[in-house]
Each structure stands twice: as C-alpha cells, then as structure tokens.
Amino acid sequence: SQTIHQWPATLVQPVGSPLSLECTVEGTSNPNLYWYRQAAGRGLQLLFYSVGIGQISSEVPQNLSASRPQDRQFILSSKKLLLSDSGFYLCAWSDGGGTREQFFGPGTRLTVL
C-alpha cells in the first residue's frame, strides 16, 4: 500500500532563516506531487505541483520554492522566511495515471517568529 511521509511535524523558525520541508511517498511510482498551505482558519492553497522529476509548476508567486530531486521526493524551501509563511503545510500525491483523488501527508506546522 502507498504511504506518504512529511517531516518535521512541527517547526518554529525565526524570520529570515531558511526552510526545508521534505515529503516522500512509498508504494507508487511516478506520482503527481503537490504542496499546499493551510493558514489558520482558512482553506487550502495550492503552492506547487510536479508531474515528474525536475518538473515544478508554481501556482502563486511567493517566497517559497520547490524541488523534486527523486521520483518520490518533494522538497519545499525558502531562503528567508517571512512572518506570513506561518501555516500548516501539506504534501499530497495522486496517481499520474488519473485516478484523480489526492492522498495527503500528516502535515508540518510551521511557526515563524
């Protein structure tokens, strides 16, 4: 069966520090991968998606970047965090063949102080 991991689970970082969040998927190959942010009391905002290694699309301009160095690894990064980057970050995957539903990781709670 497929599983998706995210780490760390929680993170507290000062403004201006770098960020690296990691997501890995097991039990599937060539998945579509997604990064979402969920701000407190708000819905999900799609940040990035990837349909293959090295292929990243950004949905909104922002202070963050994403990379996919391996088929089942998706990394969210920032060089300098802003207060507004605080939130709950969710990684998700879907079957590249088109079964359409997305499966979510447990999330990372990021607090920027």
Partner 1 sequence: GNSVTQMEGPVTLSEEAFLTINCTYTATGYPSLFWYVQYPGEGLQLLLKATKADDKGSNKGFEATYRKETTSFHLEKGSVQVSDSAVYFCALSGLNSGGYQKVTFGIGTKLQVIP
- x/- binding map, residues 5-24, to partner 1, per CB under 8 A? -x------------------
Pairing relationship of beta strands 108-112 and 10-13 according to DSSP bridges: parallel
- x/- binding map, residues 26-65, to partner 1, per CB under 8 A? ------x---------xxx-x--x-x-----x--------
Query: Smallest distance from the beta carbon of 32 to partner 1, in angstroms?
Result: 7
DSSP labels, 29-62: SS-EEEEEEE-TTS-EEEEEEEEETTEEEESS--
Q: Which of residues 64-93 bind partner 1 (CB under 8 A)?
A: 90, 92
Choose, by CB under 8 A, the member of 19, 30, 94, 113 that binds partner 1.
94
Q: 71, 75, 73, 68: which is closest to 29 by C-alpha?
A: 71
